[in-house]
Structure 1
């Protein structure tokens, strides 16, 4: 599992956060970047200029910054990421307080899930910040939860060009639909287990997923019911926020 280095370099961390934001949200003003990072506008401008220099960002005629060619190969997500981030914050923090494990919000981007928000727990052994990372949707807990909320035909279309055992995937997704949650037991990372539930908008369309992620050493089947209940409560709160706009 990856945790934040003890001696992290703030400028590098800020630049990587900006790159992740550009990939997830599309365009940013200098003031937006400064606000998100908690730095001055001049510092944000210098960071963005370096990202432009390395092709991680491009500046448009309106002086906004968008993702550069290095970031564009990743599939785009249609999810309303800024709204989801605002709506999920309090509920993810409550989820962490309840479970004492790290909580994540992720969106579907092609056949991958992209982590857009992480709230870490305070335990020494914990799952670290995943913001900006992508994982195969069919392996991750949140990804399977979102795929299970799609029709089988939509899943087939999504994986039309993928080298994947689709009958096996459909069997897994049927079980997720029946249960209402998905589990990733070390399928994306050794020593990590996660439980995920899909977040739906007012029309019932899956727009995101919430997961509670923990070291496998602390996961026990008898705790699963309480973990699913806590994640589902967070999802319900986020869905109410989305309806309210």
Structure 2
């Protein structure tokens, strides 16, 4: 098994985390008020206001006349409210909440770009010991459930392009073994789901399925994440069935959207 990629820092700085999460929310969702951000971060409005003020000062955010804060010049390249990712996220959030209500584990929506995936939506569960939100975080695709499933959709020649040796000239250790990866992708393609046991982060297990558009093209991955000590392999089929039902409902919603 690969060495886990990420672990939480031993001395987290709450103010920095609040600022980074706020910037991510503005980048992915297009805008939010002080009250909305305070609720999302679980902090007082005064704290949310101070975070936003600093982001405005550093051009990560701008405040409109409607008192809505939006992504600023630093983040403007990704601040398109009608983008595919934004529409996916908006459509997916109710389904993520329903999965959390059913499983009481954190649920995520993930998209792939090249050899990486990005968590574009996440809903945390209510348990004291839980996997926190990964919204905005980027991971190597081959280390995540959604990444494996999305990579498994690629024809072999495109997979070789994604992991071409010249792209890893300055970081050869980051390039996966393609023979081993192909074996994993075939397994994921056959089963229709993927399992990540502490591959991306220590102490975390995730199960994922695909979300497709009306012509069958894979758009994103839908996953549920939990502490490894709470994962029971006997529940795998039930977890997959719940995710597949949510993915199918999301696909139906997307088919009805422009």
TM-based fold match above 0.5: yes
1:93 aligned residue (74, 94, 97) = 97
* Cα RMSD, aligned residues only: 3.4
CA contact 2:27–2:71 (8 Å) conserved in 1: no
CA contact 2:106–2:224 (8 Å) conserved in 1: yes
Aligned residues: 225
Unaligned runs of 5+ in 1: none
1:81 aligned residue (69, 72, 85) = 85
Matched residue, 2:33: 34
Per-residue Cα deviation, 1:93-128 (whole angstroms, up to 9, x for no partner): 111122121111111122111111111111111111
Determine whether 1:149 maps to 2:153.
Answer: yes
CA contact 1:194–1:211 (8 Å) conserved in 2: yes
| Structure 2 CA distance for aligned equivalents of residues 221 and 138 of structure 1 | 21
CA contact 2:56–2:72 (8 Å) conserved in 1: no
When residues 52 and 151 of structure 1 are mapped into structure 2, their CA distance, relative to the original with a 3 A threshold, is: farther
Determine whether 1:223 maps to 2:227.
Answer: no
TM norm structure 2 = 0.74
Matched residue, 1:175: 187
Per-residue Cα deviation, 1:173-217 (whole angstroms, up to 9, x for no partner): 010000000111001111110001111112222221111111111
CA contact 1:150–1:206 (8 Å) conserved in 2: no
Matched residue, 2:110: 106
Tell me the secondary structure at the aligned position of residue 95 of structure 1: helix
When residues 37 and 109 of structure 1 are mapped into structure 2, their CA distance, relative to the original with a 3 A threshold, is: farther
When residues 217 and 154 of structure 1 are mapped into structure 2, their CA distance, relative to the original with a 3 A threshold, is: same
Tell me the secondary structure at the aligned position of residue 123 of structure 1: coil
Report how far residue 68 of structure 1 moved: 2.2
TM norm structure 1 = 0.77
Matched residue, 1:164: 176
Report how far residue 46 of structure 1 moved: 8.1
Report how far residue 49 of structure 1 moved: 6.7
